[in-house]
Chain A
Amino acid sequence: MLKKSLILIILLFPILAFAENVEFPDIEGWQRDGEVKTYNRDNLFERIDGASEFYFSYAFEKLYVAEYKKGESELTIEIYDQHDPVHAYGIYSMERPASADTKSIGLEGYYDDATLNFTTGKYYVKMNTYQVENAGESLLTNVAQQLAPTLCKNPELPAQYSAFPNENRVPHSQQYVSTNFMGLSMLGSAFRAKYSGSEGDFTLFIIHKKDKEAAAETIKKYQEFSQAETIRTKEGEYTIDDPFNGTIYLLWKGNYLVGASGKVTAEKAFSLAEKAMAKLKLE
């Protein structure tokens, strides 16, 4: 029996972890309305229907929801556990509007009259109100500032984002695509940011692979997909004529591929890719 139990523990080890500690704040003047509700992959659909698929693709683990009341006014806080900071910032960035005026809330956040979203650590927090005037700037910001440190004391932006050169970068355009970047399964996940240059708008992206061999395999498959005349397998610069995504400039070094797509010259693309690559820790 003991042996079977130990085997079970070993088998379950990849998914075992110590229990986490999400605590909702007390908000002056507001009463908690009901118990905290939790959702997992089993029943997230009940809360956010088909939108849950997107959260799953960003490593969703659990959702905690608390509701508050003050007279006729309502406040809801949703705390999504997205497993790690890369995925939490990732899904936050994918839902962030292009026009968002981001603030230093947790790692980063933004608000409008009735809602406030922010990310910190492995969490993505979404707050909304009903019948509260100017909630974003006042009430929600205060609550968020109260809540954020309890979820993660010292949030840090995943290292890859700091590699994007600042010159001509569109503010607050950094995102993380969790899978099938540019519609291509061999590329996997990627960090990306938008830029505006003399030729027009373009995207710079960073693909991190687990090792140099994996990066080599990716570049090989991408060349095969695009029917390159010759398949190269050495680190360096590549120009890929992707039939679906247009001309793609790729710089491969070690386990990183840094590239550009859109309205950009090869010279500019590789120049920026080199700058980004210089800031990445190659393995």
Chain B
Amino acid sequence: MTQPKLDRRHFLRLGAAATAGLTTAVAFTPKNAMASSKADKKIITRKLGNTGIELPVVSMGVMRADNPNILKASYQLGIKHFDTAHGYQGGRNEEMVGEFFKDKPRDSIIISTKIHPESGGISTDKFMEMLDISLKRLKMDYVDILYLHAASNKEYMLDPRYLTALKKAKAEGKAKHIGVTTHSNMTEVINTAVDSKVYEVVLTSYNFRLAKDEELHKALKRANEAGLGIVAMKNMAGGFLDKEKQKPVNCKAALKWALSNPDIHTCIPGYTTYEMLMENWSVVSDINLDAKEMGDLQLASNEVGLYCHGCESCTGQCPQHLPIPDLMRSYMYNYGYSYPAKAYETVAALSLPENPCANCDECTVTCPNGLNVGERVADIARIRNIPGEFLV
């Protein structure tokens, strides 16, 4: 009456069909998935540095999920690693993970969680209290990976309070391995993790928009060679190419791109539907980008989307000495984040002339990431003409 018909045998066949290359062009139904192939393809696994853990290259970021049946489907397909955090959904995310896995063999899964000290800093004891709360929610005696959450600089990563807590967690058997997560200033964080000789795993943002970041790639290679485990997140780079959100990123291609780097050991895409699960899982035995996928990502890379990278290469290029980085940031506030008040505030503070580009026939500022600077300056400068009380 109430149990899903798709039992383990069906799920394994679904998994097989998925790894046979079920494309997103085919409407996803269990029947299509089961009908498309009978042959299993080999699941690609990679060692997570020197941790002794070997994982399929596709794992699960649980943070957006609120439906335990998604966990169930993922587990039955063969996903081993599930990533959550103390702060996700006020603790309910860890509770959902704990409730689902409470009767599963503990050694059949790799669970990670993260502790994020508040902005003013917390003591070692407080860190350990938060970890104990997490373990209670997870209904587990230990996590496989305990992360210091959201690092962006060396000082935070090497704060003795947190290093002491992480080491204590490991010594007491509450964490098998310790790591650090980062989504900004990743190169410094990764290099610091290597140099510290304390961190064993790094969880980092990594996607095709970072293709040209040579320093980041050097850091990843260095970390891999030093034996750190490297887990990648934010592989879809926001999910859309345009401000109108009409051009979705080819997510399967984006995942393959991330995994094409052998220094990445597994990815943790965050998904909330069975369709997304199957699309992600289809990559687990085939990470080779085909011509169309390569084309989609090349287009994406060229299209750049909305994001000024903040590299400030444009500084000093404008013959009128316009503050280009500030104007690009204002453009992003308005169109990228629908925050016109902030865009207005930014432009208003710049004391621009009435028509800032009047003295130039064409814009000679060159953006290394291909942004059309002249067009954006002309566009965003007009925001000064909108009465401030209409902007929020």
Give residues in A with beta carbon < 8 Å to B.
1, 4-5, 8-9, 12, 15-20, 40-42, 45, 47-51, 53-54, 57, 74, 94-97, 117, 177, 179-185, 224-225, 227, 241-247, 261-265
Asked whether A227 and B30 contact (CB < 8 A) given A51-B87, A183-B274, A185-B275, the answer is yes
Q: Which residues of A contact B274 (CB under 8 A)?
A: 183-184, 244
Q: Are A243 and B5 in contact (CB under 8 A)?
A: yes
Q: Are B386 and A40 in contact (CB under 8 A)?
A: no
Nearest-Cβ distance from residue B22 to partner chain A, whole angstroms: 15
Nearest-Cβ distance from residue A132 to partner chain B, whole angstroms: 15
Q: Which residues of B contact A185 (CB under 8 A)?
A: 273, 275
Q: Are A243 and B10 in contact (CB under 8 A)?
A: yes
Could you list 9 A-B pairs, sorted by A, with CB under 8 Å? Answer: A9-B386, A42-B339, A45-B150, A48-B116, A50-B150, A94-B90, A244-B274, A261-B2, A265-B1
Asked whether A182 and B385 contact (CB < 8 A) given A51-B85, A54-B88, the answer is no
Q: Which residues of A contact B265 (CB under 8 A)?
A: none
Q: Which residues of A contact B371 (CB under 8 A)?
A: none
Residue of B nearest to A56 (CB): B64
Q: Are B341 and A19 in contact (CB under 8 A)?
A: yes
Asked whether A225 and B29 contact (CB < 8 A) given A49-B149, A182-B69, A243-B4, the answer is yes
Q: Are A245 and B63 in contact (CB under 8 A)?
A: no
Known: A41-B339, A49-B181, A242-B4. 10 other contacts (CB 8 A): A40-B342, A50-B149, A54-B64, A95-B89, A95-B91, A182-B67, A183-B274, A184-B274, A224-B27, A225-B28
B246 at the interface (CB under 8 A from A): no
Q: Are A177 and B66 in contact (CB under 8 A)?
A: yes
Q: Are A246 and B88 in contact (CB under 8 A)?
A: no
What are the 6 A-B residue pairs with the smallest beta carbon separation, nearest first?
A95-B90, A243-B6, A49-B150, A5-B385, A180-B272, A42-B337
B179 at the interface (CB under 8 A from A): no
B73 at the interface (CB under 8 A from A): yes
Q: Give the CA-CA distance A110 to B385 in the complex, in Å.
A: 46
Q: Are B89 and A8 in contact (CB under 8 A)?
A: no
Q: Which residues of B contact A227 (CB under 8 A)?
A: 29-31
Q: Are B2 and A183 in contact (CB under 8 A)?
A: no
B49 at the interface (CB under 8 A from A): no
Q: Are A4 and B5 in contact (CB under 8 A)?
A: no
Q: Which residues of A contact B322 (CB under 8 A)?
A: none
Nearest-Cβ distance from residue B364 to partner chain A, whole angstroms: 24
Residue of B nearest to A128 (CB): B118
Q: Which residues of A contact B27 (CB under 8 A)?
A: 224
Q: Are B116 and A40 in contact (CB under 8 A)?
A: no
Nearest-Cβ distance from residue A29 to partner chain B, whole angstroms: 20
Q: Are A50 and B85 in contact (CB under 8 A)?
A: yes
Q: Give the CA-CA distance A179 to B273 in the complex, in Å.
A: 10
Asked whether A12 and B64 contact (CB < 8 A) given A40-B337, A49-B116, the answer is no
Give residues in B with beta carbon < 8 Å to A.
1-6, 10, 27-31, 63-64, 66-67, 69-70, 73, 85, 87-92, 116, 119-120, 149-150, 181, 183, 233, 270, 272-275, 332-334, 336-342, 382-383, 385-386, 389-392
Residue of A nearest to B14 (CB): A243
Q: Give the CA-CA distance A264 to B273 in the complex, in Å.
A: 24
Q: Which residues of A contact B31 (CB under 8 A)?
A: 227
Asked whether A51 and B89 contact (CB < 8 A) given A183-B70, A183-B272, A242-B4, the answer is yes
Q: Are B392 and A16 in contact (CB under 8 A)?
A: yes
Q: Are B389 and A241 in contact (CB under 8 A)?
A: no
Q: Give the CA-CA distance A47 to B268 in the complex, in Å.
A: 22
Q: Give the CA-CA distance A179 to B275 in the complex, in Å.
A: 14
Q: Which residues of B contact A225 (CB under 8 A)?
A: 28-29
Q: Give the CA-CA distance A94 to B64 in the complex, in Å.
A: 11
Interface centre among A45, A74, A180 (most CB of B within 10 A): A180
Contact of B64 among A9, A53, A241 (CB under 8 A): A53
Residue of B nearest to A115 (CB): B90
Q: Give the CA-CA distance A247 to B3 in the complex, in Å.
A: 7
Q: Give the CA-CA distance A227 to B5 in the complex, in Å.
A: 12
Asked whether A49 and B183 contact (CB < 8 A) given A54-B64, A263-B2, the answer is yes
Contact of A16 among B63, B66, B391 (CB under 8 A): B391
Nearest-Cβ distance from residue B184 to partner chain A, whole angstroms: 8
Q: Are A57 and B64 in contact (CB under 8 A)?
A: yes
Q: Are B340 and A246 in contact (CB under 8 A)?
A: no
Nearest-Cβ distance from residue A175 to partner chain B, whole angstroms: 9
Asked whether A243 and B90 contact (CB < 8 A) given A5-B386, A50-B63, A183-B274, the answer is no
Q: Which residues of A contact B389 (CB under 8 A)?
A: 18-19
Q: Are A15 and B340 in contact (CB under 8 A)?
A: yes
Interface centre among B30, B272, B386 (most CB of A within 10 A): B272
Asked whether A16 and B4 contact (CB < 8 A) given A5-B385, A182-B69, the answer is no
Q: Are B89 and A224 in contact (CB under 8 A)?
A: no
Contact of B63 among A9, A19, A51, A180 (CB under 8 A): A51
Q: Which residues of A contact B150 (CB under 8 A)?
A: 45, 49-50
Contact of B29 among A180, A224, A262 (CB under 8 A): A224
Q: Are A247 and B340 in contact (CB under 8 A)?
A: no
Asked whether A262 and B2 contact (CB < 8 A) given A15-B338, A16-B392, the answer is yes
Nearest-Cβ distance from residue A81 to partner chain B, whole angstroms: 10
Residue of B nearest to A42 (CB): B337
Q: Give the CA-CA distance A53 to B268 in the complex, in Å.
A: 14
Q: Are A42 and B336 in contact (CB under 8 A)?
A: yes
Q: Which residues of B contact A181 (CB under 8 A)?
A: 67
Asked whether A247 and B1 contact (CB < 8 A) given A8-B386, A45-B183, the answer is yes
Q: Give the CA-CA distance A47 to B117 in the complex, in Å.
A: 11
Contact of B392 among A19, A47, A49 (CB under 8 A): A19
Asked whether A183 and B69 contact (CB < 8 A) given A40-B339, A50-B85, the answer is yes
Q: Give the CA-CA distance A95 to B95 in the complex, in Å.
A: 11
Contact of A48 among B2, B28, B87, B233 (CB under 8 A): B87
Q: Are B339 and A245 in contact (CB under 8 A)?
A: no
Q: Are B386 and A12 in contact (CB under 8 A)?
A: yes
Q: Give the CA-CA distance A4 to B336 in the complex, in Å.
A: 21
